[in-house]
Structure 1
Amino acid sequence: MMTHATYVALSYGAAVVLIGGLVLMTLLDGRARKRDLAELEAQGIRRRSSAAQEPGQDQADT
């Protein structure tokens, strides 16, 4: 029979494992996206947000 303390400890343990997994997945995905961006920029493909605006050009014109 499971005691209350065991149930609480298992619940907290499961929460820690799940949140840790989500953090790890987020970090790994961020690294992968940075690698993808670096590859694209090495090919000469630039992000629109990094393009220099010409003088007199409104933000709405882009």
Structure 2
Amino acid sequence: MIELGKYAGTVLAAYGVSLALLAGLVWQSIVANARARRDLERQEKNG
């Protein structure tokens, strides 16, 4: 691993927060897609 010196904690925390936010955005997109697909199927079924 790259030596980060005295800023290692801050840098790793920033990476952790960034990864958590990206994972949250991916999860939110998947859930929104599933909801939209379900609503569209319901709309098509009901005419």
Which ranges of structure 1 fall in alignment gaps of 5 or more residues? 45-62
- Calculate the TM-score normalised by the size of structure 1: 0.66
Residue 39 of structure 2 corresponds to which residue in structure 1?
36
% same residue = 31
1:4-57 deviations in Å (ceiling 9; x for gaps): 00000000000000000000000000000000000000011xxxxxxxxxxxxx
RMSD over aligned CA atoms reads: 0.6
- Calculate the TM-score normalised by the size of structure 2: 0.86
Residue 10 of structure 1 corresponds to which residue in structure 2?
13
Question: Which ranges of 4 or more aligned residues in structure 1 deviate by more than 2 Å?
Answer: none
Q: Which has the higher contact order (CA 8 A, sep 6+)?
A: 2
Relative to its length, the structure with more helix (as a share) is: 2
- Number of equivalenced pairs: 42
